[in-house]
């Protein structure tokens, strides 16, 4: 009986509103920068070709490109380019892609350039 009670409590904890309120992680090739300023410099360096730079895994002086699992956070600057509009965005890295799959890691704070969807006026 005691085991069944513990299982029911555990199941209730998993379905609590706090657990379901957390955003899901996204897995993608991303430019990862230590600061928002570094992300802006990366965007300036790769003007009008940010997606190509990410696809070609071109690293910057203070940024790297890698396939990560992350949770997006607060957006700050918007950067208009020919190919798209990007937002400098705080992210929490929660996993790293490896040949064997995604390796869960302790959360790490970083910044990236998130491509914004085209917005009609």
Domain boundaries, the chain: 22-116
Look at 19 and 33; give whichever has higher pLDDT: 33
Q: State residue 24's pLDDT score.
A: 75
pLDDT > 90: percent of the chain: 36
Whole-angstrom Cα distance, residue 97 to residue 3? 37
Quick one: tokens of 43?
A: 């965007």
Report the pLDDT averaged over residues 9-32: 59
The helix/strand/coil state of 93 is strand
What pLDDT is attached to residue 52? 83
What is this structure's pTM? 0.72
> Does residue 51 contact residue 83 with C-beta atoms inside 8 Å?
yes
């Amino acid at each position: 009986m005691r085991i069944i009670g513990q299982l029911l409590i555990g199941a209730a904890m998993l379905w609590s509103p706090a657990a379901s309120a957390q955003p899901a992680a996204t897995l993608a090739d991303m430019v990862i920068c230590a600061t928002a300023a570094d992300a802006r410099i990366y965007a300036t360096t790769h003007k009008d070709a940010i997606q190509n730079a990410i696809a070609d895994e071109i690293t910057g002086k203070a940024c790297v490109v890698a396939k990560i699992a992350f949770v997006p956070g607060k957006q700050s600057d918007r950067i208009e380019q020919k190919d798209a509009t990007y937002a400098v965005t705080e992210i929490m890295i929660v996993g790293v892609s490896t040949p064997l799959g995604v390796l869960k890691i302790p959360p790490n704070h970083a910044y990236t350039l998130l491509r914004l969807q085209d917005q009609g006026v």
